[in-house]
Amino acid sequence: MSVFSSVEDGGAGLSVASSAQGNEIIFELYTGQESSPRMVTLRSGVVPEKGKAYHVVGVWDKEKETARLYVNGELTSTFGTSGDFVLPENPVNQWFGIGCDAGTSSRGQDPFIGDVFLARVYSQPADDAQAAALWSDADKGVAGSVISINDVMLFPTCAVGPGFKYMVLGTGFQDGDAVKIVPVSDMDNPVEVEGDVYDGHISISIPDGITTGNYSFYIVRNGAEAPLGVARLELSDNPVPLSAPRVIAHRGYHTLSGVPENSIAALKASQELGVYGCETDVWITTDGVLVIHHDGVLSGMTLQDCTYEEIRNLKLSNGETLPLLSDMLEQTRTGGDTRLIIEIKEHSTDERNALVTDAILKMVEDMGMEDHVEYICFDRDVCRRIASAAPDAMVGYLTGDFEPADLAEEGIMCIDYPFSTLNINRYMVADAHGLGMKVNIWTVNSDEDMLASIALGVDYITTDYPDRLMEIYEMMEE
């Protein structure tokens, strides 16, 4: 009942440490003298790989005053500890949790995402030979250890319908592999589907009868199975096929080593990577010069309150001089097909916002760059102003607080909304597309959010890691 429980309160747990703690398989135990009980953590040094199964044995041997942790039959660590095993006092911590630290929430603290095939609790401590015997007796076909799939990634939530091509990303799939999908709420009714195997993924056709819910995915090969993870499938009449949205490098491709954000170097790196867009931020000085920087302040100077003369010698971390919009446009013209996605920063007054907007539009027109730029802004008045002055320009509204139809009425034909907004208000993507609008999503940096964004069916993804997003696209290629 309370053997596995929150070890800060008492009990023990088998789990995977958080990424900050190294992601390794750990065994935690609350033991020691009654006057000074203590939490013991045994670290295996084994970092689990996605798609693989592990056999883990945690032992507390009171007589020998040691705790031991075994992974796949091998002793990985021991810890000397005397006294009694301490059960948790707080009733809310008294529940069974393997793969997490059973804290006060129903999910536990730091749960891992995966499947537990089998769990047993023994009343006697195992020695090395017994732990090895447990491993050799384990059903390795079910445990999946004979199947090696790496870099597994699932689309966390995906709208599907019968015949929809769903893919599980990963490497190591083999011709003849099938995918078994098991409803989490109805595990006795799995469905097995033949897969089409590609370098970076396996593709399946969603069968009839799938309903909305969470599903466990398994790879099936020659009668053996290995877990792939859990994802949510949502039944839709009109699911959007999985494809690769255009990539926009947020403040340029600045996560490349030695490249500061909002620099000519970050624009050049974006062009070399071959992304669709390079986003950049524009301020206007008191004397009407358009300069590039994200924050309003650089080296203690408030850009919109300075003359250009006062800030012209400021340097970026790579030694580059504070770039001008004209420099960025010139590099956009000469360096490739990457578009410049110009964010008009919100200035101190509406008048200043109008001034910077008009100055940018004029520069783009004077340089003949209308077909190489798009605009974005958090200020709806600015978006409206651009839409009215340059009806052919793509303008995206960033704040995320209006329905697509409200913006379309004003000629603002792109919702460029935060991930947190669109992931919750998924209908907005379909609404926008129904109105002929584009959808951009920002700022999407984790693998999981990238896959969620792809499954949302957006047109553009803005990210600090455009290289990683393109790697994921390569895995999706047929």
In terms of CB distance, is 281 or 379 closer to Mg ion?
281
Distances (CA, A) of 179 to 190, 218, 353, 391, 466: 10, 6, 54, 48, 30
Q: Choose between 158 and 249: whose C-beta lies nearer to Mg ion.
A: 249
- Binding part of the chain for Mg ion, among 187-195, 216-224, 340-348, 442-450 by CB under 5 A, reads 340-348
Q: Which stretch binds Mg ion (CB under 5 A): 3-11, 42-50, 275-283, 393-401?
A: 275-283
Instruction: Give the CB-nearest residue to Mg ion.
Output: 343
Out of 9, 101, 281, 327, point to the residue binding Mg ion (CB under 5 A). 281
What is the rounded CA–CA span in Å between residue 382 and residue 411?
A: 12
Tell me if 398 sits within 8 A of 378, measured CB to CB: yes
Tell me whether residue 281 or residue 449 sits nearer to Mg ion (CB atom): 281
- Taking CB under 5 A as the binding criterion, the range among 152-160, 228-236, 263-271, 335-343 that sits at the site for Mg ion is 335-343
138 DSSP 8-state letter: S
Contact between 414 and 437 (Cβ < 8 Å): yes
* C-beta closer to Mg ion: residue 327 or 343: 343
Q: How far is the CB of 377 from Mg ion (least distance, A)?
A: 9
- Say how far apart CA 128 and CA 122 lie, in whole Å: 15
Q: Which is nearer to Mg ion, 46 or 329 (CB)?
A: 329
Cβ 289 to Mg ion, closest distance in Å?
Answer: 19
Which CB, 6 or 263, lies closer to Mg ion?
A: 263
x/- string (CB under 5 A) for Mg ion, residues 287-326? ----------------------------------------
Q: Give the DSSP H or E segment for 301.
A: strand 301-302
| Interacting positions 432-461 with Mg ion (CB under 5 A) | none
Residue that is written with structure tokens 């447990």 in the block: 134
Q: Name which of residues 156 to 175 contact Mg ion (CB under 5 A).
A: none
Task: Find the Cα–Cα–Cα–Cα dihedral 347, 348, 354, 355, rounded to 10°.
Answer: -80
Distance set, CA 210 to CA 38, 207, 244, 310, 336 (Å):
48, 6, 25, 64, 45
Structure-token match 């999908």, residue found: 181
In one-letter notation, the amino acid at residue 145 is S
Residues 6+ away with beta carbon under 8 Å from 270: 249, 252, 253, 277, 278, 338, 466
Distance CA 183, CA 120 (A): 24
Single-letter amino acid, residue 465: Y
Alpha-carbon distance values, 186 to 158, 211, 232, 440, 467 (Å) = 19, 11, 14, 36, 39
- Scanning 123-131, 240-248, 336-344, 455-463 for contacts with Mg ion by CB under 5 A, the matching segment is 336-344
Bridge partners, residue 181, by sequence = 191, 217
Residue 454 has which token pair? 């792809």
- Two tokens at 232? 């949510």
User: Using CB under 5 A, which of 327, 343, 449, 459 touches Mg ion?
Assistant: 343
Q: How far is the CB of 399 from Mg ion (least distance, A)?
A: 13
Q: Which is nearer to Mg ion, 9 or 343 (CB)?
A: 343
457-476 binders of Mg ion (CB under 5 A): none
Interface stretch with Mg ion, choices 118-126, 186-194, 274-282, 443-451 (CB under 5 A): 274-282
281 vs 416 by CB, closer to Mg ion: 281
Angle 432-434-435 (CA atoms, 0-180°, nearest 5)?
65
| Nearest distance from C-beta of residue 292 to Mg ion, angstroms | 10
We find the least distance from the C-beta atom of residue 203 to Mg ion, in angstroms, to be 36
Query: Between residues 273 and 344, which has the closer beta carbon with respect to Mg ion?
Result: 344
| Contact by Cβ (8 Å): 401, 428 | no
Instruction: Supply the minimum distance, in Å, between the C-beta of residue 403 and Mg ion.
Output: 23
Total residues in contact with Mg ion, by rule CB under 5 A: 2
261 sits near Mg ion (criterion: CB under 5 A) = no
Query: Which residue blocks in 108-257 are alpha helix, DSSP H?
Result: 128-137, 140-143
> Stretches 185-193, 215-223, 276-284, 398-406: which one binds Mg ion (CB under 5 A)?
276-284
**Least distance to Mg ion, CB of residue 343, Å:** 4
For the chain, the straight-line distance linking the first and the last C-alpha, in angstroms and rounded, comes to 49
Our CB check for Mg ion shows the closer of 343 and 449 to be: 343
**In the bound complex, what is the minimum distance in angstroms from residue 454's beta carbon to Mg ion?**
22
Give me the residues that bind Mg ion (CB under 5 A), please.
281, 343
